[in-house]
Amino acid sequence: MSKISHFGPKIEFHIGIDDTDSVRGGCTTYIAAQIIRKLVKEFEVEFIDYPNLIRLNPNVPYKTRGNGAVAIRVLVNENLIEEIKRTVIQEVEKWFMIEDEKTNPGIAFLRGKIPTPLKCFAKKVIRDIVEIEEAERIAKMLNVEIIGYKERRGIIGALAAVGETLDGDYTYELLAYRKRENWGTPRRVDPQSVMLMDRETFPLTFNNVDYETGRILITPHGPDPVLFGIRGENPRVLIEALKYIKTGEPIACWVIFRTNQGTDDHLIVYRKISELRPYLPCKIKAIVDSKPEVIEGGHVIVRLRDETGAIDAAAYEPTGDFRKIIQKLEPGDEIIAYGGVRPLNGSKFTVNLEKIEIVKLARKFISRNPKCPKCGKRMKSLGRSGGYRCKKCGLKLVDAEKEVEEIKRDLKDGLYIPPPRAHRHLTKPYQRYGLEKKRKETIKLHEPWYYFSE
C-alpha cells in the first residue's frame, strides 16, 4: 500500500487518547500502538517524540486501572490531518471497551505548538482533581478539538496527555503485546529470564522483580493485550533488556513510550494538612503525633500533625516490611510523608502512605531508679517523698534522683519506600534517585522504537 502524502509545509499535530480500557480488558496503549501502525504504514508523517504515556493522579475514584493516557506527536502536512483524525477515531471506536459502564473515552486533537495553559492543565490533572467542565473550557479557549464518548470523562486525560510534554524527569517503557487469540489466557513469560534481565540491566531498568516475594512485575494479570512491559532509563537499555526475555507465545508488536512513570510526578507539591481533601496526592512536612498502632489486617496507623491540623496516615498490609519502619516511629519525629488522600466513612479521611522521609528523629529517654552506691543493685522507690531503699542491703537514700538514659533508636534518618510490588506507576524507586533527568534537547528517536509482526 502506498502512503498518503501531500507536498507543502508540515505542522505539529498532537493526538491524545484516554479511558478506553476496562478491568475486563482493553488497553489505551494498545490502541495507541494500532494508531501508530496505521500512521507508519498509511501516512507520510514524521514522529517528533516517542508516544507519551502519561500517568495521571492515581487516587481518582473513576480510574479503570493505571490511569494512563497517551499522546502521539507528529509533523504532518496539514492536508492530511482530517484523514488522520478519521483514522484515530476509527481505531478508538474499534478497540475501546464500550460495554463497560466505567469506560468513558476521550480524544483530543491539537494543531501547532502546545500552549503554556495546556501544560499547566496537564500538571493539575496529575496532581489534583479536575472535572469535565474545566477540561471543556480549556479545550475551547485553546482551540483543541475534543471528542468524548458516553460520560466523556476521557477528554480530561486526553487533553492532559497532549499538554504534558515531559520537560522534567522522565523514563521509558517498552510495552509488548499479545496475539489476539491469546488475550485472556495465562501469560507465558519465563520468570528466570526476567530475573536475568533484571540483574544484567540494573540499575537502568527498574521494578522488574519483587525480590521479597519472588514476584515478576513486568507482566500484568488481567485480560488486556499487554504481554509485558519493561521500564528503564533509555530506549537502548530497553532494546537490550528485550533480548533476555523468553516467552512461550509470540509477540504481536511492541512500542517504546516516553513516560512520567517512576518520577514521583504526582508528589511534587507540598501541602498543609488543612488543605487535604479526598483523592489528592500529597507531600506533607509533619511531626509524628502518637505511637503507631497496628490494626486488624496488619495495617499500621500513625497520627501526623503540622501547624494546621492532624491526620491519620496508613501503611497497608501490601507494603510489607515498610510497615515495620512506620511502627518504629515515635512522637516528635520529623518526617515528610508522601501519599494519597483516601476517604473513610463520613467526613474523615486518611493518607495512604507511598513513602516517607525521616528528617529528624526525636530523642528517646528512659528513667530508672538509682543504683545502690553500696552494693550496686537497683533501689526501690519509697513513694513520692520517701526516697529510695536498697532491697539487698537496706541502705536508704533520701535525696537520690532517678537516672535518665538516652535510648538508641533502631531507625535512621533517610528515605523509606515500600517494596516494588506496592509501587504505583508514578512511584520513584530507590535506584532512580540520582538518575533523574531534565529534558534540554530535542528528543531523538532511537531506531527501532516499534515492531509490528504484520
Q: What is the pLDDT of residues 186-236, one digit of tens each?
A: 999 999 999 999 999 999 999 999 999 999 999 998 889 999 999 999 999
Indicate if 353 and 376 belong to the same structural domain.
no
Within this chain, do residues 92 and 156 fall inside the same structural domain, yes or no?
A: yes
331 vs 371: which has the higher pLDDT = 331
Q: Do 283 and 414 lie in a common domain? A: yes
Based on the domain organization, do 349 and 387 belong to the same domain?
no
Q: What is the pLDDT of residues 385-418, one digit of tens each?
A: 678 888 888 788 878 888 888 889 999 999 999 9
* Residue 440: predicted pLDDT: 67
198 domain-assigned? no
Taking the C-alpha atoms of residue 361 and residue 331, their distance in angstroms, rounded to an integer, is: 9
How far, in Å, CA of 68 to CA of 58, rounded?
Answer: 9
pLDDT at 127: 97
Chain-centre distance for alpha carbon 334: 24
368: number of Cβ within 10 Å = 11
Cβ atoms 41, 186 nearer than 8 A: no
The pLDDT, as a whole number, for residue 405 is 86
Instruction: Say whether both 277 and 387 belong to one domain.
Output: no
Is residue 277 located within the same domain as residue 378?
no
Distance of CA 143 to the CA centre of its chain: 31
160/29 same-domain check: yes
Rounded distance between C-alpha atoms, residue 25 and residue 65, angstroms: 10
Look at residue 373 in the predicted model and tell me its pLDDT: 84
In this prediction, residue 379 carries a pLDDT of 86
Q: Which of 74-83, 347-356, 363-372, 418-427 has the lowest mean pLDDT?
A: 363-372
Task: Give the three cell numbers for residue 292.
Answer: 503507631
Share of the chain above pLDDT 90, in %: 79
**In the structure, what pLDDT confidence band is assigned to residue 63 with cuts at 50, 70 and 90?**
confident
Q: Provide the CATH number for the domain around residue 114.
A: 3.30.70.2200
Average of pLDDT values for 58-69?
85
* pLDDT grade for 3, boundaries at 50, 70 and 90: low
Confidence of residue 288 (pLDDT cuts 50, 70, 90): very high
- Whether residues 160 and 77 share a domain: the answer is yes
Beta-carbon contacts of 216 under 8 Å, excluding residues fewer than 6 positions away, are: 189, 191, 194, 195, 208, 209
- Mind listing the pLDDT tens digit for each residue in 87-115? 999 999 998 877 777 889 999 999 999 99
CA distances from 239 to 174, 176, 258 (A): 8, 11, 14
User: What is the C-alpha separation between 52 and 39, in angstroms, rounded?
Assistant: 16
- DSSP state for residue 402 in the 8-state scheme: -
Mean pLDDT of 17-43: 90
pLDDT value of residue 5: 59
Which pLDDT does position 394 carry in this prediction?
79
Same domain, 382 and 346: no
Structural domain including 336 reads: 266-361+409-422
Q: How many domains does the chain have?
A: 3
Q: Mean pLDDT across the stretch 437-449?
A: 85
pLDDT of residue 75: 96
Segment 48-59 mean pLDDT? 97
CA pair distance 438, 317, nearest whole angstrom: 35
- Domain identity same for 100 and 140: yes
What integer is the mean pLDDT of 427-452?
A: 91
Among 247-251, 390-394, 429-433, name the one with the lowest average pLDDT.
390-394
When pLDDT is averaged across residues 294-317 and rounded to a whole number, the result is 96
Residue 270 reports pLDDT greater than 90: yes
- Please, what is the average pLDDT of the chain? 93
Classify residue 111: in a domain, yes or no: yes
Banded pLDDT at 4 (limits 50, 70, 90): low
